[in-house]
């Protein structure tokens, strides 16, 4: 018997034909294209290994063409990011219009969680902890905002994933560089109090929070390079012990639900080194599925190998799978 038998419900279907013809949607034109292609190849291989009639589709225009011709019965979405990615609600609305079922969150939760500022506002209204922040519109005085929050802070676009365009401001001298980096991506920015401590993440699969993972990078913080390229980052799973581990899973699942999310995803959390307090950073509704990725690592800790994880995610696209 495996470790997850008493936690996870049994698989809902055993015959891969139940899924029909599946599009594994990857690539696209967002800033996270390469990571998405890597994730997509892994998912495709895992589903095909279990006998699923799965096919790679690169980007939304190619998918639309296939859907118009009735080529697919459902979509496994592993398209990351926004603006040509699959995490911002646009793809979900398209699939709803075609009445084609898909994995992951629906329209509202996808759109909301791609916007870090408004996600934080929802959490605050639900009484969930998140670092203090200032919303910056183009033209706002960044220096004044930094002084009001108090350094150190992070400055990031409100709607990009994968630490793309994130700047860390520890002193006055770094503010100009932070403005330049985040402005490259245009639009609204989030300035957020930098919590000094441990970076953790909690995968969600259905109604279950997976064991937390503590990310211990060699560099100062977990950036795009550490996320996808460097092999010197350490991942500790579970990331916490005892009551604290129970608490991080509880608040991650509460944060996921408060944002209207269903299916699967990942919630990023900080733990303050001095006080031990946990604060919520963001939700990722189409997390990476690469060899470095964190949801597969956490699932493995509970006895779920990668191919079963992909199968369980795909099952959520069957009727009555994802419970709100």
Q: What are the tens digits of pLDDT across the range 67-96?
A: 999 999 999 999 987 776 788 899 999 999
Q: How far apart are CA 204 and CA 54, in angstroms?
A: 24
Which residues are CB-neighbours of 140 under 8 A, at least 6 positions away?
Answer: none
Residue 110: exposure state from Cβ atoms within 10 A (0-12, 13-18, ≥19): buried
Confidence of residue 321 (pLDDT cuts 50, 70, 90): very low
Whether pLDDT at 17 is above 60: yes
CA atoms of 195 and 135, how far apart (whole Å): 17
For the record, the structure tokens of 54 come out as 């799965």
Greater confidence (312 vs 220) lies with 312
Two tokens, residue 184 = 């490259």
Residues 60, 40: Cα–Cα separation, whole Å: 14
Residue boundaries of the structural domains of the chain:
16-104+305-315, 113-130+196-301, 133-193
Do residues 274 and 13 touch, judged by C-beta distance below 8 A? no
- In sequence order, the 6+-apart residues with CB closer than 8 A to the CB of 135 are 117, 158, 188, 189, 190, 191
* Distance, CA of 254 to CA of 238 (rounded, Å): 19
Position 324 scores a pLDDT of 39
What pTM value is reported for the model? 0.88
Residues with active-site annotation: 32, 162, 228, 266, 268, 282, 284, 288
Q: Select the CATH number that applies to the domain covering 133-193 from these four: 3.40.50.300, 3.30.1490.20, 3.30.1950.10, 3.30.360.10.
A: 3.30.1490.20
16-104+305-315 to CATH, choices 2.60.40.1120, 3.60.21.10, 3.40.50.300, 3.40.50.20: 3.40.50.20
Between the CA of residue 144 and those of 136, 147, 183, 188, 191, what are the distances in Å?
11, 5, 17, 16, 11
Number of neighbours of residue 319 by Cβ within 10 angstroms? 6
Burial group, residue 310, by CB count within 10 angstroms (0-12, 13-18, 19+): buried
* pLDDT at residue 160 in the model: 62
In CATH terms, the fold of domain 113-130+196-301 is D-amino Acid Aminotransferase; Chain A, domain 1 (3.30.470)
Q: Which token pair is 186?
A: 């245009």
Q: 3-class DSSP state for residue 78?
A: coil
Reply yes or no on whether the pLDDT at 253 is more than 70: yes
pLDDT tens column, 102-161 = 999 999 999 999 888 999 999 999 999 999 999 988 778 888 888 899 999 988 877 765
Residue 186 has what pLDDT?
64
Containing 283, the helix (H) or strand (E) segment is strand 278-284
Partnered with residue 75 across adjacent β-strands are 23, 102
| pLDDT value of position 201 | 97
Rounded percentage of the chain residues whose pLDDT exceeds 70: 88
């Amino acid at each position: 018997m495996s470790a997850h038998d008493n936690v996870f419900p049994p698989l809902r279907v055993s015959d891969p034909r139940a899924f029909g013809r599946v599009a594994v949607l990857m690539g696209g034109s967002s800033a996270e294209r390469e990571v998405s292609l890597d994730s997509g190849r892994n998912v495709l291989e895992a589903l095909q290994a279990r006998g699923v009639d799965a096919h790679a589709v690169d980007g939304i225009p190619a998918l639309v063409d296939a859907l118009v011709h009735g080529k697919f019965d459902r979509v496994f979405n592993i398209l990351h990011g926004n603006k040509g990615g699959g995490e911002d609600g646009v793809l979900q609305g398209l699939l709803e219009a075609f009445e084609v079922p898909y994995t992951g969150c629906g329209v509202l939760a996808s759109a909301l969680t791609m916007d870090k500022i408004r996600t934080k506002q929802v959490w605050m209204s639900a009484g969930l902890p998140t670092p203090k922040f200032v919303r910056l519109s183009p033209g706002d005085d960044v220096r004044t905002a930094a002084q009001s929050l108090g350094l150190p802070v992070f400055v990031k676009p409100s709607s990009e994933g994968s630490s793309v365009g994130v700047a860390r401001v520890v002193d006055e001298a770094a503010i100009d560089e932070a403005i330049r980096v985040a402005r490259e991506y245009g639009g609204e920015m989030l300035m957020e109090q930098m919590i000094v401590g441990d970076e953790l993440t909690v995968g969600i699969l259905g109604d279950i929070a997976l064991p937390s993972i503590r990310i211990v990078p060699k560099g100062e913080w977990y950036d795009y390079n550490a996320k996808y390229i460097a092999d010197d980052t350490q991942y500790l799973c579970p990331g916490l012990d005892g009551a604290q581990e129970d608490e991080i899973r509880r608040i991650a699942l509460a944060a996921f639900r408060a944002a209207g999310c269903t299916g699967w995803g990942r919630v990023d959390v900080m733990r303050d080194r001095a006080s031990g307090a946990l604060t919520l950073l963001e939700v990722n509704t189409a997390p990476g599925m690469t060899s470095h990725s964190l949801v597969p690592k956490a699932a493995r800790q509970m006895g779920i190998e990668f191919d079963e994880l992909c199968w369980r995610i795909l099952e959520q696209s069957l009727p009555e799978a994802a419970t709100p």
